[in-house]
Structure 1
Amino acid sequence: MTQVSRYHPLLVGLHWLLALMVIAALALGALVLVNIPNSDPMKIDALRQHMTAGVLILTLMLVRLLVRTRTTHPAPASSGNALLNKLAWASHRLFYPLVFGMAGSGIIMALEANLPAVVFGGHGSLPPDFWAFTPRVFHYVFSRMLMALIALHVAGALYHTFFLKDQLLRRMFFGKRVIAAATIPTSPAPNQPSSKVQS
């Protein structure tokens, strides 16, 4: 029997790639897109990047979920506090529904606003205001929840690194991951009688 000390290399790569992509997409949406009027031609270019990144993030998250369900994981980490352990367990699993919710609401909004034809086909024009579409509200709420979850995730990593100093982050980096099981001794333990019949 073997144990692993790190996550699967593909899961590690997807974790860091998705972390960068999700943060970049959130920043583009919250800091750039929101400040460009829909009448500005630059809005279409920014939307094209945002929508492309969103579809790619959704695809990679589905791949990550598949890899996660089919690979061996390290033993559950502990913070030494039952409440914090439950919070960590829940927060890790919330990433998937929030990302899927953001992508889904974005796709529905794009279809309602005919964005694929406008952004990728050059046909038509952008609507005056995306807030006229109900999925925009969900897209906004999911984005803020995801930002808060990322902040919580980073805070947890810093807590483990600088306060607990348990090297938890090593689990999400590349390196040797298999720990060989301890060899069980075959000779009798001290002070334990041998099973051999004495003559």
Structure 2
Amino acid sequence: MSPPTSMNQYIIADPRLCIGCNTCMASCSQEHQRHGLQSAPRLQVMRNRLDSAPVTCHQCEDAPCAQVCPVNAINRENEAICLNESLCISCKLCGIACPFGAITFAGSTPLDIPRDCNSPKALPAPRAPRPVSPMLDWVPGVRAVAVKCDLCSFSPDGPACIKTCPTQAITLVTASLAETASQQKRLNAMTVFPASLTVFTAPDPEGKP
């Protein structure tokens, strides 16, 4: 991947506005599925005791995921790091290389093949093991494809999560926005939750901390 000549665009969420409704995840899933791509959402809403915010790809300038991909399935397009699902070979190196844990893996079951389709000439498919981790899970007959945010580059309307967020907590950061002094305080106040550190803490039913 050639070095970028300008900054990549990326989305950032304001935890002060996010209400944890998961609308961004639902719209992301629907938008990609509508264009024939994996239906797994490209962002995950993370929560702690006080805040919530969606976590997604940081669109790194050096893109370690693209550097380790052996088939060049990840490249910089339209100021974003995009993944070509048709080229992905399920090696999962990009997920290992991502420093933010923003790449996961999912596979859609073929529509024309029944789930329990067997024949006298083929042994029944083994049952899928219990899920452990996206890096280890596998489902018989389903190819795991890398899933990462592409800023809905295929859509002229931009990221679906921004369009559907009811509180406008998600912002698309462009070079012009990052350079605008009037917006700098707002960008500094926003928080990108580290996916590996932020966990949802359920309230204790007995009221204990």
TM-score (norm 1): 0.26
Highest Rg: 1 or 2? 1
**Greater relative contact order (Cα < 8 A, sep 6+):** 1
TM-score (norm 2): 0.25
